[in-house]
Every structure is written in structure tokens, then in C-alpha cells.
Chains A and B, each alone.
Chain A
Amino acid sequence: MTNISATHHEHEHDHHHDHGPAKGLLRWVFTTNHKDIGTLYLWFSFAMFLFAGTLAMLIRAELFKPGEQLVNPEFFNQLTTLHGLIMVFGAVMPAFVGLANWLIPMMIGAPDMALPRLNNWSFWILPIAFSILISTLLMEGSAPNFGWTFYAPLSTEFGPPSTDFFIFSVHMMGISSIMGAINVIATILNLRAPGMTMMKMPIFCWSWLITAFLLIAVMPVLAGAVTMMLTDRHFGTSFFNAAGGGDPVMFQHVFWFFGHPEVYIMILPAFGIISQILPTFTRKPLFGYASMVYAISSIAFLSFIVWAHHMFTTGMPLAGELFFMYATMLIAVPTGVKVFNWIATMFRGAMSFETPMLFTLAFIFLFTMGGFSGLMLAIVPADFQYQDTYFVVAHFHYVLVPGAIFSIMAAAYYWLPKWTGHMYDETLGKTHFWLSFISVNVTFFPMHFLGLAGMPRRIPDYALQFADFNQIVSIGGFMFGASQLLFLYIVIKTIRGGEKATDRVWENAEGLEWTLSSPPPYHSFQTPPPIK
């Protein structure tokens, strides 16, 4: 891979090294090319986003009016469970891995990822894992119906037979993520162009390096938790069964020891994307690069010592509650550093408002709001009140939808001209942004009020006084869902044609990926580029 002679330019080079993609559909099955695999990841994630989004539409249709409307309560529980699982493991995480595949080699001046065959394998496990998970909907009994957090004993003693399929699909998702993470680390540590020191690396690569370490540290814990579930269900162990001396509360500890770093796995790459896009459209370098790197690292470290803030109502001693409360609030400090750095980057910048920038600004504003409701939830006595209400639903949807998902959309608009060689339709892009921005707030903002008024989460029916707000939420939800079809149309339209994009695409875009042609050659940097 790296033994390409420096004197040959790729266009003059003869056939045996820089062949283009193979012909036919099997190209996608056997490919070891980082761009092909990145594309596969992104399309897969978008398909899962639409599927899990459809489940969310069913949830909102059921909740449009009080009483049983469309689905029975048993099926409603399966909807919430699969919506959560697929969005987390099938939509958000693979989208970030897809972006990492496409961008990291181009950003650090490498020809490809360090471990291309592993890369192929880590992608192709995913469709199999999700076929298994989704097929549970058609199984006798029921699909998994215990929420995406699958607390024991609901998922062990009382889980439907399909739970075992769920367990194996989680194992496979875990293996896929771990392999993807190993590949990212190996690429960043070994394939940087000569002269690109760690502290000269684009911040997106930094955020992904740290995310990858989080992944290899916590995905095995999740695998361990589901393995314990499996042996509890079938092999007579009692990890979570009180009759055999086990403890169901311990499940929550193990789960959230994975689960809290997991939420940062879903947001750190988003921080990287935002820090990458903002300097381009403010025409200023990123404010406080080094402090951004340290902030990401400290958020990652803190994520390991705050897990029990998900469990304040399980009967912890006061000292434990205080520790987890203060540790959680401490995370606001590095997060605040990042938000203030972004604001300082914008300060006196020559800003322009193309679609990626609009999504970026919406991210900064709305993610911060989600962060604030997170701080409210960190306060122990307040959490006792908010626990398991729609306030929690509002909080994590604010950090995941206008947070993680908006950052992915910003990234898609920002790099799509580079990937395809065509500019997207700016008018349609802006329409998509405004539709999404308005509908996302109509959907999730009233959920705060519902939660504060006491509406519990994960229920198919509710008391009459919640009807008005639920109707607003549902209308917003349908709007948001429909707007994403416009996104699909825009992406397909851009791939098929459009105004030719220049190599640099944006006026002030900095970074190695913009020195390549648009679309970039099949193998990015055959010879390492010079680093200033």
C-alpha cells in the first residue's frame, strides 16, 4: 500500500496499481476501498434511519390521540425498542463510521485505511446483524419489547423468545464497531503523511481517534452484558436473577457502564464535524485547537465515571448520588469550552450561510439546549421527578437529532460536492434545512412540557390533559419525517448530476481533502502530500 514509488504520478502510472473500481455489483461485496466502504456505510445508515424513522412515525400516530388508535400496547413496546436500537446502532453509529472511512484517509494524506480487508468485514457484518434484528418483528411471540436499554429481568426472565436473536445481533454489531474502531486507530497512528504531527491533524480525526478508543473500551462490556443475559436465559447462570444470588440492579450498572460512554461515541465525531465546517464558513481558523483536543479527551475520560446518574432512583446512598451528580456536572466544563470556542470562532468572522453552515449553527444552538436539559437531569432531587418522563425523551432527542443527526447532515452537504464532483441544489438544501429545523423543534420542544407535567415515557396511551401537546408533537414528527425524503432526493440528484464542483469546493476550505480532485481518485494519496 505505502510502497508506491514517489516518482510516478498516478495518471502516468501503468495498470497494476491504480486500477479503478471493479465492474458489476460484486464490486460492493468484495471492495476494500475506503471510499466504497464509506459509501456503503452511509447508504446503510440512511436506510436504517428511514426504517427506524418509520417506526417513530407509527409511535407518533398512535400517540396522536389518547386511547388505543393504531397499534396495540404490546406492539407499541416493540416499536419503541426497535426504534431506539436501530437509530443508535444502525443509523447514527454507522453514519459516523462511514464519514470516518471516507474522510480520514483523505484528511491525513493516506491512500486508504490501514486494514482494508478488516474494513470490508466490519461493514458486511452490519446488514446481517440488522436483518436478524428486524426479522424479529415477523417472529412468533413478539419482537424485543423491553426498551433499547433491555433491563433485566424484563429482558431475561420475561423476554420473548426472539430476545436470543436480539442478543446475537448485538454481538455482531459490537464486533463490527470494534473492528471499525481498530481500523481508525491503526490508520491515524500509522498512515499520516510525513510532517503531519498529531497536533496538526484535522480535529475530525482527533475526535474519531478518541471515539475509537471509547468504542474498543465499552463495546466489549456490552457484549459481556448480553452474554450474561444469554447464559441467564438458557444455561442456568444467575447474574441478574435474585433466586440464584444475582442482582437485577447490577444489570443497570453494567449496561450504563457501556451506555454512558456510548452517548459520547454518538456525539464526539459530531463535535469534530462541527469544528471542521465552522472555520470554512466563518473564514477564520478554529479558535483554540489545542483546547478542543483536550476538551474532547476530558469528556471521554469523564464519561467513564458518571454512569450511575441514569440510576438515581435505584436506591443509592447519598454519597453516591452526590458523587455522580457532581461528576456529571463537571462534564459541562469541557463541553462549555467547546461551545465557547465555536462562538469565538464565529466572532468577527466573515460568515456566510450555505446549507452545511445552517446545520452547523442549528447544531450549536440546539445541542447546547439539549446539554442544559441534561444538566437539569443531573440534579438528583430534580431527577427523581423527571425520571422516566417525556422530559428525558426530550433531552436525549435534542442531543441526538439536532445534535448527532444534524451534524451528519451538515457533513453530507459539506463533503457531498467533494465526493460526487457535483454541487448540490442550494435552494433545495436550504428548504430541507428550514423544514428540518422547524419541525425538529415542533416535535421535541413540547416534550419538555409533557415531561414536566408528568407524562411517562414508553406508554401507548396517556391522560387527556396531555392530548394537545401530543398532537403538536405528532404533527412536528410527521413533518420531520417527510422532510428527510427531500434529503434523499437531494442526495440522489447531486450524485446524478449538477453544477461541476471545483477541487476546493468552498471558498475558504482548509485541509488535504480539498487538494484532491472532485470527485477524488479511487486511491486518494498514492504519494504522501507535502505538509506545511
Chain B
Amino acid sequence: MTQLTSNNKRVKKQLFIMLAIVLGMFGFCYALVPLYNVFCQVTGLNGKTSNKAQLAIAKVDKSRVVTVELLATLNNSLPNHAGEFAAQTKKFTIHPGEYINTSYWVKNLKNQPMVVQAIPSVSPGLAARHIKKVECFCFQHQPLEAQQGKEMPLVFTVDPALPTTVKTITLAYTLFDVTQK
């Protein structure tokens, strides 16, 4: 009988360890979310640009040019009849380091106010960290009154450190309706 009780204690200890692994791995799944974001920030994966204003770059690389295309898409949360969203100029050719000062046009076509948020995405993804924004409408939520339209400023450049293999960069903004319901 003494052997049985010691055996029971052993089983209980093992059960405890195994349950700890189970709970730990469940927690690890959630820990993957911040880990993934940090990993993407460090490596510049996923075509996400920084959502903070960057310091200005003084140097201009006159030896080559880069084509920058600006795209605008309405997310499914915003059907076509609910809003207008477009880049003022769709294509620029610049020397890396030169600033582009442009804007996007947005209009609320609904009869009630809404809040929108633009999410940037860069392709090729690895060029994302070389896009340096001084000002971007994507940094914050944009409240719009019913039927209100507005120009939203965008000032950015391409870092001269951009790999020479990249000739064209596409900067795409997707507009989401983030109105609190």
C-alpha cells in the first residue's frame, strides 16, 4: 500500500507538469502575437511601414531613380457607395532621398458621420522599412462628418539605403471603417 500512495503522488506530480505544459502552450499561442509583431518590425517583413513619423533624411542619391506608385482601396467594411478614396497623384519618379509631398482624397458618401483608418502596405515587402514618412494620414483615425470630403496629407521619401535591385515600389493604402458601433 505504501508503494501505491507514493505512486499516486508521482502521478499527481506528472499530471501537474503536463497540465502546466498545456496551459503554457495555450499562453504561448497568445504570446506569438506580440512576438510576431516585434519580429516583423525588426526584420521589416510583411510590408508594414512604421506608424510613427520618421526623422528627415538629408542625403539624396542622385545616381538612380525609383518609381513610387500610390494605390487606394476601399475595404469590404466600406462598400463603394459609402466612400471615395483616391491618391491625388498616382505615380512619382524620384531620386532616393527626395521628398514626395502629396495627398489622398477621401469622402464620406453616407448620411451619418464615420471614422476611417488607412492601413499601408508596401510591395515588395522588403522595401517597407525604406519608406520614411514624415507625415501620414494613416498615423491616426480620420473622423468624417456626413458627406464630408477632405484632402489628407502624405509626406515621405525613400531611404537611399534601398537595395539597388528595387526599381519600383508600390505603396497601397486600404481604407477601413472603424466607427464605434
Contacts and interface: CB of A to CB of B under 8 A. Distances in A.
Interface in B159-181: 174, 176-178
Contact of A190 (B7, B40, B124): B7
Contacts of B63: none
Contact of A239 (B28, B33, B124): B33
Interface residues of A, number: 34
Given A114-B11, A190-B10, A315-B125, A250 B32 contact: yes
A247 B77 contact: no
A302 B130 CA distance: 35
Given A220-B25, A225-B29, A243-B119, A186 B75 contact: no
Interface in B33-73: 33, 36-37, 40, 43, 45-47
Nearest to A182: B18
Interface residues of B, number: 41
A221 B18 contact: no
A115 B19 CA distance: 14
A220 B23 contact: yes
Given A190-B7, A315-B47, A224 B36 contact: no
A186 B12 CA distance: 9
A228 B21 CA distance: 20
Interface string A315-334: 11100000000000000000
Given A225-B29, A243-B119, A2 B4 contact: yes
Given A2-B7, A242-B119, A243-B117, A216 B21 contact: yes
Given A216-B21, A242-B119, A243-B75, A253 B32 contact: yes
A3 B37 CA distance: 54
What DSSP secondary structure best describes chain B's contact surface? helix
Contacts of B125: 315
Given A243-B77, A243-B178, A250-B36, A185 B26 contact: no
A3 B43 contact: no
Interface in B91-132: 117, 119, 123-126
B22 interface: yes
A225 B10 CA distance: 32
A161 to B, nearest CB: 17
A228 B117 CA distance: 22
B16 to A, nearest CB: 11
A249 B39 CA distance: 13
A295 interface: no
Interface of A: 2-3, 114-115, 157, 178, 182, 185-186, 189-190, 216-221, 223-225, 228, 239, 242-244, 247, 249-250, 253-254, 257, 315-317
- State the 9 A-B residue pairs at the shortest beta-carbon distance, nearest first: A224-B29, A243-B176, A220-B26, A220-B25, A221-B29, A315-B125, A182-B18, A250-B36, A220-B22
